[in-house]
Structure 1
Amino acid sequence: MIALAVLALALVGGGMWYRFALWNASLREAIPEPVRQELQLLEAAPAENQARLRQIYGEYLYGDYFAPDVIREDMLIFAGLVSLALPLIVAGGVWVSLRLSRQLTAVALSAGEIAAGDFSSRAQLVPHTPPGLQNLATDFNHMAERLQRYDRELQESSAAIAHELRTPLTAAIGRLQGIIDGVFQAEPGQFDTVMRQLQQLTRLTDDLHLLSMAHIGKLALHLSEFPLEDLCRERIAWAAPSLEAAGMQVRLQVPGHLALLADRDRIGQLLSVLIDNALRYAATGKALVLRAEFAEGDAILLAEDRGPGFTQEHLDRVCERFWRAESSRSRHAGGSGLGLSIASAICVAHGGDLTALNRRDGGAQIRMRIPLRSPAA
């Protein structure tokens, strides 16, 4: 629109200047030859010949400039130029408005479909629109994609939560009912079975509470400085019986001087998730490498296994709650499907992030970025 306005001003101003140039040239052509030659000499040094210049200008050139017929002619030419510029402004304005409105209309239509519950709707990118509007449509589509992912996760997790809660609860109720009916004897072994089911429920509700608090940014962190290597060795020792039973070797490559200012218990929980995840889904590889490195003020913790890895289309879903890929995240392997979701939430709460990759020589790599000095401090 600014360009149209400048173009219209240039058309009107240029036309009036051209009209004045023609008028001035015609007046100079009518000046007698001796006076014209004298005028050329005087205009070569105007500051020294102002009086004579005014006399010649008034007598031969501009004396009639404000005459009614001259003013009338100027106004007619000005009106003609404006009448030429107006269609240009209108046509250009309509063209620009259509370009703007098409992109805005596409966003509005998609917004209406999303408001009606169709989270798969996306705003079409209209070509040749201003970059700002294209960025608006792109950001809107990203927002819609996240809404669709959250909606899908909510639907899937609701069903999964019901199943995960019902299974141990049904088992515990059935065992207790059997004891009440005399089917099972009221002995410590039976109560231990019930207790294990109730503990499973407790772990699940604790995990869900952690994810809920992390989602709203309210996950409490108790910060302290500690060596990461010591914590890794501690968690590996905790899991030693399971690792030995699976025949899995854990190799630790963490610098001894690497210290984090973070919540030690939460980072320990993250490490336990990584070890448990490898035991459940990558035990066939018989190897797990935990290594850490520095990167611009962050600690990068890598967990690399030799298991089946992730299919390419599932890489962006590994941190969704209750998600399992059919081939490598079978429900029969155990677990609730919350492990990597919890690990990711702990990383985010510390100002970092978690991503999943496939290794070139086979297996999966879980990459966690944790600031050496947590923003929460």
Structure 2
Amino acid sequence: MTKVSQVEFVKADNLKVKPDPNSLQFGKVFTDYMFEMDYDIEEGGWHDPKIKPYGPLSLSPASYVLHYGQAVFEGLKAYKQVDGSTVIFRPEKHIARLNTSNERLCIPKIDEKLALDALTQLIELECDWVPEKEGTSLYIRPFVISVEPYLGVRPSYHYKFLIILSPVGAYYSDGQLNPVKIYVEDEFVRAVKGGVGHVKTPGNYAASLLAQEHAQKKGYEQVLWLDGKENKYVEEVGSMNIFFKINGEIYTPKLNGSILPGVTRDSVIELVKVWGIPFHEERISIEDVFEAHKKGELEEVFGTGTAAVISPVGELRWEDKVITINNNETGEFAKKLYDTITGIQYGKIEDKFNWIKKVK
């Protein structure tokens, strides 16, 4: 592993007791250490990278992020492979996307090599926190916040870049891919072209909560967003990208500036192409999806994302129309994708794509 000599290490006085791997919840428990680096425009940019004990931040009530939301984040995972090694899944891709988000939010870019090396050092230090139970992982949350105490509207002059870690349980606790019910949102919109829908910024998620609550009250776990202009073209599902299998061919919405370019989405596309399956990346109207179902051509629908990897969809509701996909059962293709990607993550299948970065 390449070390970055300027990363300072601050040793913790006491280490935490590791949680029971059988009762892990998402984002509830955090490891002993975190990474932190500061930005100051007057000190030449990013400086003082350090790995330090996990703990609270001290922020002014006037901190820029609290008033104007200048913040971005990422989400990726480290895994314990079957041979006992610790690996990270596609970290370079996530760090590059973090910088894309930085650029859109007027946040200074981070040196990607330094970020990758610091992340690798942090995971190596905390490798005992990577749970070994099937389906579990160590969730990695890099994020940048603006911390300048200032109430004027302009890009902040001071930032913090942090990485925190949290061991998480299996998304599918019973080992089975459970299809979800999805409500097609026809009132609210998630994003518009030219906005910030293509980057990971907290405001996108805050703005989605009301629609999510409405969907849950109607008995649906997730929201399928339509485009913000015509309210007819499929975009993405909650925190996932969406795919359709129609007549043996795979379709997914084309990236248009309002859809997040998911890393799992990219992984699925690579697999589909390698397997030689006809693939289409284009605008897809919700009417066409329901029409394909009416004709008996809609074979599978599934979401893709870091948390679930593959999430089959068993039911879609759009206005007063409800359709059931594949008898509300997980399709063979979704299962194959899930088994392949997780197989690579846990070292059961050879990584022919260079997606895995070994840490220890």
Normalising by structure 2, report the TM-score. Answer: 0.24
Normalising by structure 1, report the TM-score. Answer: 0.23
If each structure's strand is expressed as a fraction of its own residues, which one has the higher value? Answer: 2
If each structure's helix is expressed as a fraction of its own residues, which one has the higher value? Answer: 1
